[in-house]
Amino acid sequence: MPLKVCVYGSGAREEAIRDAVSKSKLCENLVEDPEAADLIIFGPEQPICDGLVDHYCQKGIKCIGVDKKFSQLESSKLFAKKFMANHGIKCAKLLPLESEIFPQVVKADGLCKGKGVKVVYNSKEKDEFTRKIPAPYFIEEYLDGSEISVMSYFNGQKLVNFCPARDFKRLNSDKKSPNTGGMGAYCPVDLSEYQQNRLDLYLKLLEQALIDEGASFTGFIYSGLIWTRDDWYVLEYNVRLGDPECQAILNYLDNDFLSILLEDVIPRYKKGYSACLTIASEGYPDNPIKGDEIILPDGDNSVKVYFAGVKTENDKLYSNGGRVLSLCKVGEEPFVDLKNYAEKIIMKHKIFRNDITIF
């Protein structure tokens, strides 16, 4: 029977989920009120870590979202470290708090909206950062390599894995520019056969770890991985789809997203690459300017536009956040088209990365 579906949350990721769900044969309609839904799909980490999945499950509503216990994989980096250690999953080694081996990585233990992690290169940087973040924090070794994001769906019994994606976290190409929520993403990432084999092995370990720990939720687990020392090391877990990786993956899917979640169907993809480019507002991430009128170019329907931080007033669009729009396209060189489209958008303080490419 078709379902009334509520997608919980309000950014571009959630818009992309709504778009995919509304096309599903299993969806009757989208509803805003979770109490009125047969199925709730959770977007952001905060409600998941606050235990809202447990809350709605207890009311008998089916939820796609990690339960409170396993949400600690994201909300407590030390919980995640213990989970990995118990199951032989590789990650960066913890260093003593007073370690003077640089570079090193300082990480706040709790949720910090992407602002709790910094690679520091000397004691001065370390002191400045540790004074800014909430305690407790810890120090880990710096790993050098290329990163991928792998999003998986745990259906209560096994993992269904989406193809690897890559996001661009830095505000611009400068290695020291600030971390953002993500300035762009693409998928798939081309891996060597050896890298793919090691990835399959890692994902089996993760699946077995969840089963052995008695996980019974249905929800998304995001593994932030880095390729170093000839293997994948976990940098972080998130208990949700990544933003903007989600937009890239969902536009790349060639079959019904809800069937993947509810009917054990394997994801299939379109040809070429899928990319997503963030239009942000000057001042992002710390102090974005809001209130610019936005005029989108006419006549290019091949680019999908999701609203991340947009307000509508009298049929006009205005910027209303740091990340404003998420542009998506599938093709052979999608970033070229996205950049051209981005240039044509009228918005006084728009910023976007024009150096992003597929590599």
Q: Which residues bind ligand GLY (CB under 6 A)?
A: 167, 182, 238, 242-243, 245
Binding partner of residue 243 among ligand AMP, ligand GLY, none, CB under 5 to 8 Å per kind?
A: ligand GLY
User: Which CB sits closer to ligand GLY, 37 or 239?
Assistant: 239
* Closest residue to ligand AMP: CB criterion: 236
The CB density around residue 296, as the number of other CB atoms within 10 Å, is 15
Residues 6+ apart with CB under 8 A from 53: 42, 47, 63, 65, 66, 67, 68, 71, 217, 219
User: Which CB sits closer to ligand GLY, 182 or 219?
Assistant: 182
C-alpha 349/C-alpha 338 separation (Å) is 18
User: Which CB sits closer to ligand GLY, 24 or 223?
Assistant: 223
Residue carrying structure tokens 């079959």? 255
Residues in the chain: 359
User: Which CB sits closer to ligand GLY, 10 or 259?
Assistant: 10
| Shortest distance, position 222 Cβ to ligand GLY, whole Å | 7
Position 139 contacts ligand AMP (CB under 6 A): no
Applying the rule CB under 6 A, the residues between 169 and 208 that interact with ligand AMP are: 169
Residue carrying structure tokens 């690897």? 164
| Shortest distance, position 144 Cβ to ligand AMP, whole Å | 7
User: Which CB sits closer to ligand GLY, 114 or 136?
Assistant: 114
Where is 21: in which H helix or E strand?
helix 12-22
Where are the strands (E) in 198-322, listed by range? Answer: 219-228, 231-238, 273-281, 293-294, 304-307, 310-313, 316-319
User: Which CB sits closer to ligand AMP, 119 or 265?
Assistant: 119
Return phi, psi of residue 231, to 5°: -160, 170
Q: What residue type is 350 in one-letter code?
A: K
Position 147 contacts ligand AMP (CB under 6 A): yes
C-alpha 9/C-alpha 207 separation (Å) is 27
Exactly one of 27, 89, 187, 235 binds ligand AMP (CB under 6 A); which one? Answer: 235
Applying the rule CB under 6 A, the residues between 275 and 304 that interact with ligand AMP are: none
Exactly one of 182, 224, 322, 334 binds ligand AMP (CB under 6 A); which one? Answer: 224
Question: Comparing C-alpha atoms, which of 223, 248, 219 is closest to residue 331?
Answer: 248
User: Which CB sits closer to ligand AMP, 235 or 317?
Assistant: 235
| Shortest distance, position 180 Cβ to ligand AMP, whole Å | 11
Where is 137: in which H helix or E strand?
strand 137-141
Binding partner of residue 39 among ligand AMP, ligand GLY, none, CB under 5 to 8 Å per kind?
A: none
Binding positions for ligand AMP, rule: CB under 6 A: 92, 105, 117, 119, 140, 142-143, 147, 169, 224, 235-236
